[in-house]
Amino acid sequence: MTGTTIEPLRVEIYSLYADARPTEAASPSLRGSLPARAVQQCPPVAAGSGLGWYVHPPADFALRWDGQETEWSLLEENEPVRWRSLAGGYDGKLPDAAAQLAKAPDRFRDDLDIFDRYGGEIPFINADPRAANMIELVTGVVARTSPGWCLLARGVPNWPAQAGLQIYEGVVETDWYTSLLPTIMRLTEPGRVVRLYRDLPLMCLQPVHRSTLEAARKAELVTGQGLAEWPDDVWGDFVALRRRRQDPEIRSSYRREQARRLREHANYQPIGVEEADQPN
């Protein structure tokens, strides 16, 4: 937006659980699970995969929905050990939730009454009493961003979707909302046991500037159905790029164009490419 100064992005992510896996930068290769060809030859996939920060559950646990009610259980040796019902809006809590708060430093102890409604413990999981397959999971994560910056909370980009589970996306205004970031999920298959693990990312937090959200709401959308409605310049750009991609002597045309722009434009920065990864 004209006249808008974008403050440099600073992201702070804290967890209430001292033993939780720390938040980490998203991996362009999905921790090595993305095919090497996709990483090397398809920069858009690598850039999309590597945008943001992974958030993990604080424990290994399982969910199941029978079509009427939802239950949850911790996992031991990868198997549920005790199913507990979430019916009636019951708040499930981890066994060490109270112990985590007991470790709070003295300067915070007078404020622990904010957890009184949860029995003095950290909330973990609950199901909507009106739609039992709608789950709110609290990972214990709190985030804060620079003024003007928000976080898009979503499933992990390009990570294979888990059968029976849908993770909803939402934009949180973390430049002022310094509170627990919930993960909203929906169980989609009655009878299926869905397992979630502390060492596998559950959610990804991606930065979005407030001006982008505003610009998107006010954006002028131009569409064209059929080639007769295409502008000459759009068609010309399209043809030029397609000719390059169809030339058997030219491979990785997208990455080549990135490199060319990098050489010619001092301020050009390919999306998702760190300085150390830039071509010479």
* pLDDT, tens digit, 9 for 90 and up, residues 36-76: 776 666 778 888 888 999 999 999 999 999 999 999 999 99
Residues 108, 166: one domain?
yes
**Apex 260 CA angle, 258 and 266, nearest 5:** 90
Task: Say if residue 26 is in the same domain as residue 135.
Answer: yes
**Residue 133: predicted pLDDT:** 97
Report the predicted TM-score, pTM, of the whole model to 2 decimal places: 0.83
**Given this model, what pLDDT does residue 9 score?**
94
State the pLDDT at residue 63: 98
Residue 6 maps to a domain: no
Q: Are residues 151 and 228 in the same domain?
A: no
Q: Is 53 inside a domain boundary?
A: yes
| pLDDT, tens digit (0-9, with 9 covering 90-100), for 240-267 | 888 877 776 666 666 666 666 777 776 6
The C-alpha atoms of residue 201 and residue 5 are separated, in whole angstroms, by 33
Q: Which of 250, 266, 248, 268 is closest to 258 using CA atoms?
A: 268
Q: Do 183 and 248 belong together in one domain?
A: no
Question: What's the total number of domains in the chain?
Answer: 2
| Domain boundaries, position 160 | 11-217
pLDDT of residue 280: 36
Segments of the chain scoring below 70 in pLDDT: 1-4, 38-41, 248-260, 266-280
Provide the CATH number for the domain around residue 162: 2.70.40.10
Say yes or no: 238 and 104 in one domain: no
Residue where one domain finishes, among candidates 217, 250, 267: 217
Neighbours of 181 (CB within 10 A): 20
* Residue 45 and residue 143 in one domain: yes
Which pLDDT belongs to residue 279? 40
pLDDT at 42: 76
Decide which of 217, 232, 248 is a domain's last residue: 217
Q: Are 118 and 248 in a shared domain? A: no
Smallest CA-to-CA distance from 63 within 37, 85, 41, 44 is with: 85
pLDDT score of 269: 64
Q: Of the candidates 124, 80, 122, 118, which has an alpha carbon nearest to the alpha carbon of residue 98?
A: 122
Question: Are residues 181 and 210 both part of a single domain?
Answer: yes
Radius of gyration in angstroms for the set of CA atoms belonging to the chain, rounded to a whole number: 23
